[in-house]
Structure 1
Amino acid sequence: MPERVVDGLPRAFAELAAELDERDPLAGHRAEFVLPDGVVAYLDGNSLGRPLTVTRDRLTAFVDGEWGERLIRAWDERWMDRPTVVGDLIGRAVLGAAPGQTVVGDSTTVLLYKLVRAAVDARPGRSEIIADTENFPTDRFVLARVAAETGRTVRWIEPDPGTGVQPAEVAELLSDRTALVLLSHVAYKSAYIADLPAITAAARDAGALVLWDLSHSAGVVEVGLDAAGVDLAVGCGYKFLNGGPGAPAFGYVAERLHAEFVQPITGWMGSADPFAMGPDYVPARGIRRFLSGTPPILGMIPVEDMLALIERAGLPAIREKSVLLTEYAVAVADEVLAPLGVVVASPREPRRRGAHVTLEHEAMRSAVEELWRRGIIPDFRPARGLRIGLSPLSTSFAELATALAHLRQILAARVR
């Protein structure tokens, strides 16, 4: 295993990292995660969060108990309600959403399709959808397919990648032809935080629905869906909710829309009486109608564990540490890495920056490969970006400093 080093940084940055860890009120929570010796620094929590140690114990207990002992009886006893019970927990802990509006099930892609299709069908007289070219591929691909299926036109915003979609850019395209606006709350490339309240209000004033992808904000950035009057939202469970690979996603539909929305994948679990086995589909009442197939019961256990930890730590405190972590990364990049040609491709204003920082350099692809060999794990985004994903409850400042020191060593070796 590589030696843990921070000697690639000026002494002041090493001392600052130690001081920030010493003062960190959330530092004790780091020990609740699985922290293998072979990982020197993990900086990809915005792609896949670390597992909690309690989850290992709960999964074993689940196999022996709820599954192994109760078997099929567990559906009647507990499992049928898990998608809405965990959905309400997500709503309370990280979304600012009242009960009965959030449900867990399917992947983010499938839930996106369901809500996009239901939204445009609910606005039959409107022919346009607004989206941006910098959004995650799934969002763009799903939107293009729904537009083709329903004969609608996508009006594409081409935002500045570093600043993200601005309310004025949305307002310029809004009209009485707009059915839906689909945007990400936190940009997956730059970490720019969109002005969710302002954009939501503008869309609603135009009579359009708005759907927010919260995949890079749920669990690390305060959202406030109900307070902002958001119509629809989706988000994944394996990033800052630490649900593990393939963890189920969540969907939010404001209660006022339940009765008018017809979800397009009418599976048995979203019907009013799944075990009636009747000839025709009748939707369940409320948010449950947005289920389709059998819920991923196993996949909800890690998400529940992380949500419990988020509630104990408090989302405002998590966000505050997130800001400090990204500020530290930007400060090191400006002083230590910029002379080597590194450019910060994330917003400069801390409150407009999510929980990751993107650094660009022509050699980042090979640098990331070398970092992985050293047990330091960020991720690479073409063409030249290294994303430093900072999950506040599992990431220490010393860990971040060590990773940045190694990055400096690697890049400095290229210019000697």
Structure 2
Amino acid sequence: MSDALLSGARARRAAELDAADDLAGLRERFTLPEGVVYLDGNSLGALAATVAARLADVVTEQWGNQLIRSWTEGDTPWWTAPERIGDRLAPLVGAAPGQVVVGDSTSVNLFKALVGAARLAGPGRTRLLVDAATFPTDGYIAASAARMTGLTVTPVDPAAAAEAMGPDTAVVLLNHADYRTGRLHDLPALTAAARAAGAVIVWDLCHTAGALPVGLDEHGVDLAVGCTYKYLNGGPGAPAYLYIAARHQSAFDSPLPGWNGHADPFAMAPSYEAARGVARGRVGTPDILSMLALDAALDVWDGVTVEAVRAKSLALTDFFLDCVAAYVPQGAVEVVTPAEHGHRASQVSLRTEDASGVMRELISRGVIGDFRAPDILRFGFTPLYVGFADAERAARTLGHIFG
């Protein structure tokens, strides 16, 4: 089949898939530039259409007119935003209300979680297992938390993490998905293994929350953290979140006992008494503008299930891989993302020479993905606004660059 016929057949197939897609209309809930294929939602999600107007109201009315009264007055007072928005986010990670608090960065929340986990684990355990291929900041934070708690960091391959867990393991830190390759790790099995070993497990959900079901409560996860500016579309620098399972909340001892996490914050007491429930995960005054931008962005999930998003994600990435195989000359790229659905998150990563240059050329042609050193092209598929025609165009453009 000629190249023209080949691309025509796949373009028609993309149109058929888009026409049958029950989630296709969700793209209208986002503000996206015309003519651009955006496959970098695993770094920064697109702008939800409701955010600009909501933030304008926050600035002009809540801040401008209501002033400090907005902290405590109205239907959605600022003071309760971390827990209220946490409860909105909770179903997207499979958590019941009262277990997710929003605020601070992922790094800060991870530090709280790791030190808190070590304190939950108790004495006699000496090791902190850490995903050997983790995002660098997670490794830095883990090393600092280990120094503070007297633990020894042991890097592990998540595929072999269960075998590495033992009676000396205090804490296990794993990424639900590898940020370079898009490999999805087995959260249910690894959580069960940690529990069997008597260890406390902490999951980093940055590359899965909002793209696939997580099931924190269902699988008995102890603690989890994640950002909100990727698949949750909260905006640049949007606050992260901390999940503390209800069974651990009364014993969770945060290493950052800020006034916002105090049982009686306005008493200004010289000694610290932690708040009840997940609020003890709070530290300082929350960033209200970013917090309420996230709140508005979560409106795009109205009437949408994570299960439907996952089904489309797998269909999109399957179709993209098929198009890459058809359009890109053999040997030009190596697919490093697993083919098996059970091991694939919502991205496709390709290894190639001069990956940085190839990505710059793709972006110049209107296909925005990203590059990870030294040789990885990453394409993140956010099913809320990415369609099959986008996937076909991205693969075809990549083929033209190598052609």
- TM-score by length of structure 1 reads 0.92
User: Is the alpha carbon distance of 1:262 and 1:341 closer, same or farther for their aligned partners in structure 2, counting shifts above 3 Å?
Assistant: same
1:133 aligned partner: 132
2:79 aligned partner: 80
Moved more, 312-321 or 300-309: 300-309
- Give the C-alpha shift of residue 171 in structure 1: 2.2
Asked if structure 1 preserves the Cα contact closer than 8 Å seen for 2:206 and 2:225, the reply is yes
Asked if structure 1 preserves the Cα contact closer than 8 Å seen for 2:90 and 2:97, the reply is yes
2:144 aligned partner: 145
> Which residue among 7, 12, 19 is the counterpart of 1:10?
7
- Give the C-alpha shift of residue 390 in structure 1: 0.6
**Mapped pair 1:279 → 2:278:** no
**Mapped pair 1:238 → 2:236:** no
- Give the C-alpha shift of residue 14 in structure 1: 1.3
Q: Percent identity?
A: 45
Asked if structure 1 preserves the Cα contact closer than 8 Å seen for 2:50 and 2:297, the reply is no
Question: Any idea what SS the aligned residue of 2:185 has?
Answer: coil
Question: Any idea what SS the aligned residue of 1:259 has?
Answer: helix
Describe the superposition over 1:5-63 as per-residue Cα deviations: whole angstroms up to 9, x where unpaired: x96963222111111111111111111211123x5211100100001111111111211
Letter in structure 1 aligned against 2:44: L
Question: Any idea what SS the aligned residue of 1:391 has?
Answer: coil
1:100 aligned partner: 98
Once the two structures are superposed, the pairs formed by residues 401-412 of structure 1 within 5 Å of their partners are 401-412=392-403
2:189 aligned partner: 198
Q: Distance in 2 between matches of 1:337 and 1:103?
A: 45
Q: Distance in 1 between matches of 2:305 and 2:148?
A: 43
Asked if structure 2 preserves the Cα contact closer than 8 Å seen for 1:203 and 1:210, the reply is yes
Q: Distance in 1 between matches of 2:214 and 2:231?
A: 14
Question: Any idea what SS the aligned residue of 1:347 has?
Answer: coil
Question: Any idea what SS the aligned residue of 1:371 has?
Answer: helix
Letter in structure 1 aligned against 2:146: A
1:162 aligned partner: none
- Give the C-alpha shift of residue 304 in structure 1: 2.2
**Mapped pair 1:33 → 2:7:** no
> Which residue among 186, 195, 201 is the counterpart of 1:210?
201
Q: Distance in 2 between matches of 1:148 and 1:7?
A: 60
Moved more, 145-154 or 78-87: 145-154
Moved more, 122-131 or 200-209: 122-131
Q: Distance in 2 between matches of 1:411 and 1:230?
A: 44
- Which 5+ residue runs of structure 2 have no aligned equivalent? none
User: Is the alpha carbon distance of 1:8 and 1:136 closer, same or farther for their aligned partners in structure 2, counting shifts above 3 Å?
Assistant: farther
Q: Distance in 1 between matches of 2:362 and 2:258?
A: 45
Describe the superposition over 1:289-327 as per-residue Cα deviations: whole angstroms up to 9, x where unpaired: 111011122112232233332241221111111111110
- Which 5+ residue runs of structure 1 have no aligned equivalent? 1-5, 160-164
1:3 aligned partner: none
- Give the C-alpha shift of residue 151 in structure 1: 2.5
> Which residue among 89, 93, 112 is the counterpart of 1:114?
112
Q: Distance in 2 between matches of 1:387 and 1:308?
A: 27
Asked if structure 2 preserves the Cα contact closer than 8 Å seen for 1:114 and 1:263, the reply is yes
Question: Any idea what SS the aligned residue of 1:189 has?
Answer: coil
Root-mean-square deviation (CA, aligned residues, Å) is 1.6
Once the two structures are superposed, the pairs formed by residues 215-234 of structure 1 within 5 Å of their partners are 215-234=206-225
Q: Distance in 1 between matches of 2:112 and 2:21?
A: 41
Moved more, 57-66 or 330-339: 330-339
- Give the C-alpha shift of residue 83 in structure 1: 0.3
User: Is the alpha carbon distance of 1:7 and 1:149 closer, same or farther for their aligned partners in structure 2, counting shifts above 3 Å?
Assistant: farther
2:56 aligned partner: 60
Asked if structure 1 preserves the Cα contact closer than 8 Å seen for 2:188 and 2:219, the reply is yes
Q: Distance in 1 between matches of 2:216 and 2:302?
A: 17
Aligned residues: 397
Letter in structure 2 aligned against 1:373: S
Q: Distance in 2 between matches of 1:363 and 1:8?
A: 30
Q: Distance in 2 between matches of 1:313 and 1:290?
A: 28
- Give the C-alpha shift of residue 336 in structure 1: 2.3
Q: Distance in 1 between matches of 2:164 and 2:226?
A: 25
Asked if structure 1 preserves the Cα contact closer than 8 Å seen for 2:334 and 2:350, the reply is yes
Q: Distance in 2 between matches of 1:340 and 1:201?
A: 40
Asked if structure 2 preserves the Cα contact closer than 8 Å seen for 1:112 and 1:142, the reply is yes
Once the two structures are superposed, the pairs formed by residues 348-387 of structure 1 within 5 Å of their partners are 348-387=339-378
Q: Distance in 1 between matches of 2:300 and 2:252?
A: 34
Letter in structure 1 aligned against 2:79: M
Asked if structure 1 preserves the Cα contact closer than 8 Å seen for 2:323 and 2:396, the reply is no
Once the two structures are superposed, the pairs formed by residues 303-342 of structure 1 within 5 Å of their partners are 303-342=294-333
Once the two structures are superposed, the pairs formed by residues 34-49 of structure 1 within 5 Å of their partners are 34-37=31-34, 40-49=36-45
- Give the C-alpha shift of residue 340 in structure 1: 4.7
2:169 aligned partner: 178
Q: Distance in 2 between matches of 1:291 and 1:279?
A: 18
Asked if structure 2 preserves the Cα contact closer than 8 Å seen for 1:243 and 1:301, the reply is no
Question: Any idea what SS the aligned residue of 1:264 has?
Answer: coil
> Which residue among 17, 20, 45 is the counterpart of 1:20?
17
Letter in structure 1 aligned against 2:58: F
1:296 aligned partner: 287
Q: Distance in 2 between matches of 1:348 and 1:198?
A: 20
Q: Distance in 1 between matches of 2:96 and 2:255?
A: 25
Once the two structures are superposed, the pairs formed by residues 392-407 of structure 1 within 5 Å of their partners are 392-407=383-398
User: Is the alpha carbon distance of 1:275 and 1:350 closer, same or farther for their aligned partners in structure 2, counting shifts above 3 Å?
Assistant: same
Letter in structure 2 aligned against 1:95: V
Letter in structure 2 aligned against 1:253: I
